[in-house]
Amino acid sequence: MEKVSYYPGCSLEGTARDYSESIRAVCQELGIGLDELADWSCCGASSAHSIDHGASIDLPRRNLVIAGRAGRDLVVPCPLCYNRLKVAEKDAASGERRVRIWDLANYMGREEVLHVIKGKVTKPLAGIRAVCYYGCMSSRPPKITDADDCENPMSMDRILACLGAEVVPWSYKTDCCGASHAIPRQDLVFELVGRLYRRAVAAGANCIAVSCQMCQANLDMYQDKINQAMRTDYYLPVLYFTELMGLAMGHRDVRTWFSRHFVDPTALLTQAGLVP
Amino acid sequence: MTARDGHMENAMRIEPTWLATVESESGVKVSACYQCKKCTVGCPLTFAMDIYPDQVIRMVQMGQRERVLACNTVWVCSGCETCTTRCPNAVDVAGIMDYLKETAIRSGMEIPQPKTYVFHKAFLNEIRRRGRVFEAGLVGTYLRESGDLKAKLEDKTLGEELALGWAMFKKGRMRFFPKGIKGKTEIREILK
């Protein structure tokens, strides 16, 4: 079993429990051992980099020091945490012990992992027509993220293709959802997310695959309200790529993960003949 | 008021040394901007901004400190980094937005979009308190400190907020009790 250090981030202990549970489940299936960083702390997120530049480097650095002691590659499911850890990495003095930091989707989108995923698929996801929505922070800015495809990331596209889903091309993979504006300026998030729905539907998708828990929350939790405000009736389940992996592998907990969503994916899965 | 007074009132105060201060404090070479406006064209939030990102950069170049610090643009910016990524002259536009937020706070001026500032403060307080962010605690503090709690009580929309919280709890997406870390002293040292 391959073992990596794992930095879940604060949201995965709360609003993104479905992401957390599905990650642990599929990693077990794939033989990836997740070793949670001992006593990890918050990366500081948008708030630190907005109003306290020093803390925006020192908060993630504390976690890099812990990861350095563990000595293994560090896998990070939350793109915002990933971004802040990468900022601290780029800022670090050359003498510090380094480990490789991975965005989870990129870690799983590599050929060698895709090969293992393919072997585990028991229920190909025919009938799922997904747009892959990556959000901002695993891609931008590339001088921090080291992304070589920041305008057109492909990791989730590759994973979903392996699962037998139809991946629908669209141009809005990395457009912003408004992130933490959801609390103080919900109107901004509604506008941005409304645009994403419109574009996903125009592309012919019947769901949105995500790798970011902030994007998932903004696209999933307010779909009713946004539909009301825009006078639309979009039905677009917002699914973590790890949940889709679990679905294709016939994992027994898929139903529990999906029960945590605000946009219930049951109708989509029934239509596709994929009810877990 | 005479026309001349009006003119004076609208006149921009120019602080010619400000550009140099911004560049040395932020480490961003703002003077490299040649106004191609690629930042503004790619910005997803221009619909809510009072001046555009390229204008913010230009005004910094021109030393229009007061006007830049009073705009809502730097607080509407979500930090999506599209501008920074696409700038042909490597101007870290999103980084400048953060620098300007901190500058506005340090100057003690009235913040143009105060609720966003309240949110960021509440977020950092959560980290200071426990080392990790407890989402229910964050929202509670935000509602209290921003005045939204009072407003929602008055216009009777608090129910919606509570219904959302309850739905999240039922779905297992909201914990009632926070988790803390052992290294709180280290965190408090960082967030002095």
Identify all chain B residues contacting A51, using CB atoms and an 8 Å cutoff: 98, 101-102, 105, 117, 120-121, 124
pLDDT in tens, A115-131: 999 999 999 999 999 99
DSSP B32: G
CATH topology agreement for domains A2-107 and A123-271: yes
By Cβ distance, the residue of A50, A180, A184 closest to B98 is: A50
* A187: closest chain B residue by CA: B48
Compare CB distances from A15 to B99, B101, B174 and report the shortest one's residue. B174
Residues of A in contact with B131 (CB under 8 A): 39, 41-42
Task: Give the Cα separation of A80 and A214 in Å (integer).
Answer: 9
CB contact at 8 A, A240 and A210: yes
CB contact under 8 A, A59 and B190: yes
Return d(Cα A91, Cα A97) in angstroms, integer.
13
CATH class as words, domain A2-107? alpha beta
Q: Is B173 on the interface with A (CB under 8 A)?
A: yes
Domain boundaries, chain B: 3-107, 114-190
The order of strands in the sheet holding A2-6 is A32-36, A2-6, A74-76, A101-103
**Distance separating alpha carbons of residues A223 and A193, to the nearest angstrom:** 9
Per residue in A32-72, pLDDT (tens digit) is 999 999 999 999 999 999 999 999 999 999 999 999 999 99
Query: How confident is the model at residue B10, as a pLDDT?
Result: 52
Q: List all residues of chain B from 58 to 117 with a beta carbon under 8 Å from chain A.
A: 76, 78-82, 84-85, 92, 94, 98-99, 101-102, 105, 113, 115-117
Spell out the residues 6+ positions from residue A23 whose beta carbon is closer than 8 angstroms to its own: A12, A34, A77, A104, A242
**pLDDT per residue over A11-23, tens digit each?**
999 999 999 999 9
Q: Which letter does DSSP use for residue B15 in this model?
A: -
Tokens of A29: 């299936």
Convert B9-30 to b/e letters by CB count within 10 Å (16 or more is b). eeeeeeeeebbeebbeebebeb
- Mean pLDDT across the stretch A90-102? 85
Task: Judge: A140–B81 Cβ closer than 8 Å, yes or no.
Answer: yes
- The pLDDT assigned to A96 comes to 75
* Chain B residues within an 8 Å CB radius of A196: none
**Which pair of structure tokens corresponds to residue B69?**
């610090």
ipTM beyond 0.90? yes
d(CA A220, CA A208): 10
Residue contact B175–A15, C-beta within 8 A: no
Q: Among B76, B106, B124, pick the best mutation site for testing chain A contact (most A Cβ within 10 A).
A: B124
* Residue that the structure tokens 């619909």 belong to: B47
> HSE-up of A219 (CA within 13 Å, CB side)?
30
Which chain A residues have a beta carbon less than 8 Å from that of B78? 46, 176, 178-181, 188
Size of interface A-B (CB pairs under 8 A): 158
Q: What are the Cα distances from residue B63, in Å, to B19, B49, B67, B77, B84?
A: 6, 20, 9, 21, 21
Q: What is the pLDDT of residue B11?
A: 59
Distance from the Cα of A196 to chain B's closest Cα (Å) equals 11
Note if the pTM is more than 0.80: yes
**Cis link prior to A141 (omega < 30° from 0)?**
yes
In one letter, which amino acid is B16? P
| CATH of the domain spanning A123-271 | 3.40.50.11810
CATH superfamily of B3-107: Alpha-helical ferredoxin (1.10.1060.10)
Please state the three-class secondary structure of chain A as a single string.
CEEEEECCCHHHHCCCHHHHHHHHHHHHHHCEEEEECCCCCCCCHHHHHHHCHHHHHHHHHHHHHHHHHHCCCEEECCHHHHHHHHHHHHHCCCCCCCCCEEEHHHHHCCHHHHHHHHHHCCCCCCCCEEEEECCCCCCCCHHHHCCCCCCCCCHHHHHHHHCCCEECCCCCCCCCCCHHHHCCCHHHHHHHHHHHHHHHHHCCCCEEEECCHHHHHHHHCCHHHHHHHHCCCCCCCEEEHHHHHHHHCCCCCHHHHHHCCCCCCHHHHHHCCCCC
* Structure confidence at residue A98 as a pLDDT band (50, 70, 90): confident
Rg of chain B in Å (alpha carbons)? 20
pLDDT for A170 beyond 90: yes
Q: What is the pLDDT along chain B (192 residues), one digit of tens a residue?
A: 444 554 555 557 899 999 999 999 999 999 999 999 999 999 999 999 999 999 999 999 999 999 999 999 999 999 999 999 999 999 999 999 999 999 999 999 999 999 999 999 999 999 999 999 999 999 999 999 999 999 999 998 899 889 999 999 999 999 888 888 999 999 999 998
**In chain A, domain spans:** 2-107, 123-271
Bridge-partner residues for B83, per DSSP? none
Minimum-distance CB partner of B183 among A39, A179, A185 = A39
> What pLDDT was estimated at residue B69?
96
Tell me how far apart the alpha carbons of residues A83 and A212 are, in angstroms, rounded to a whole number. 12
Task: Provide, as residue numbers in chain A, all residues whose Cβ is less than 8 Å from the Cβ of B79.
Answer: 46, 49-50, 136, 179
